């Protein structure tokens, strides 16, 4: 499967159903005046509208402080949010397979800055340089995740985190 959620994801600002207003200001202040704000994000897999739900809908109990997620039930595609804010998804929606690949990418890449001599920023700078564009694992498709694993492995085997003369 080579769907690119990055290319195909689309989402719109929330709108208040009764007054059809977009509202202004932060999501929280808009919610105060437009209690029936509805946010929309299209599932990149089936292109239907995802639901904005409490994650206890998915797990049976609520997890985390930021527990609101976009969820497409049929595809089981989802993405979490920062501070339960529908305008701040953590990335693009991912189904099971893509979530697993993003985990692989993190497992391969994160040791570069968690265990190593590189700062987090420097590790991402190197990743971006390797790709020639800015990379966010949370927005990556499967092919990109595979490349991240390869690049991270190469960096590690080059001794990035044990090489003394490597710029930290």
Binding site for Zn ion (CB under 5 A): 43, 45-46, 72, 75
Burial class (CB in 10 A: 0-12, 13-18, 19+), 154: exposed
Smallest gap from Cβ 94 to Zn ion, in A, equals: 11
Q: How far is the CB of 93 from Zn ion (least distance, A)?
A: 8
Cα 33 from Cα 154, distance rounded (Å): 52
Q: How many residues does the chain have?
A: 168
For residues 46 and 115, which CB has a smaller minimum distance to Zn ion in the complex?
A: 46
- In the complex, the smallest distance separating the C-beta of residue 143 from Zn ion, rounded to whole angstroms, is 20
Q: How far is the CB of 75 from Zn ion (least distance, A)?
A: 3
Closer of 79 and 105 to Zn ion (Cβ): 79
157 CB contacts (<8 Å, ≥6 apart)?
none
Comparing CB distances to Zn ion, the nearer of 23 and 80 is 80
Nearest distance from residue 63's CB to Zn ion, in Å? Answer: 22
The answer to whether the CB of 139 falls within 8 A of the CB of 92 is: yes
100: enclosing H helix or E strand: helix 96-114
Give the closest residue to 93 by CA, choosing from 106, 105, 102, 85.
102
Residue 44 or 116 having the CB closest to Zn ion = 44
Q: What is the largest CA-CA distance in the chain?
A: 63
Q: How many other CB atoms are there within 10 angstroms of residue 159's CB atom?
A: 13
Smaller CB distance to Zn ion: residue 58 or 75?
A: 75
């Amino acid at each position: 499967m080579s769907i690119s959620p990055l290319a195909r994801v689309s989402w719109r600002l929330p709108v208040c159903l009764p007054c059809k207003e977009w509202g202004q200001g932060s999501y929280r202040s808009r919610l105060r005046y437009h209690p029936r704000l509805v946010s929309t994000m299209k599932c990149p897999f089936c292109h239907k509208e995802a639901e904005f739900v409490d994650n206890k809908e998915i797990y049976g109990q609520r997890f985390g402080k930021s527990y609101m997620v976009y969820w497409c039930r049929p595809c089981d595609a989802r993405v979490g949010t920062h501070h339960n804010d529908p305008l701040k998804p953590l990335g693009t929606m991912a189904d099971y397979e893509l979530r697993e690949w993003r985990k692989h990418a993190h497992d391969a890449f994160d040791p570069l800055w968690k265990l190593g001599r590189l700062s987090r920023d420097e590790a991402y700078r190197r990743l971006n340089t390797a790709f020639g564009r800015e990379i966010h694992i949370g927005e990556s498709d499967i092919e990109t995740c595979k490349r991240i694993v390869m690049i991270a492995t190469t960096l590690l085997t080059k001794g990035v985190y044990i090489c003394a003369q490597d710029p930290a």
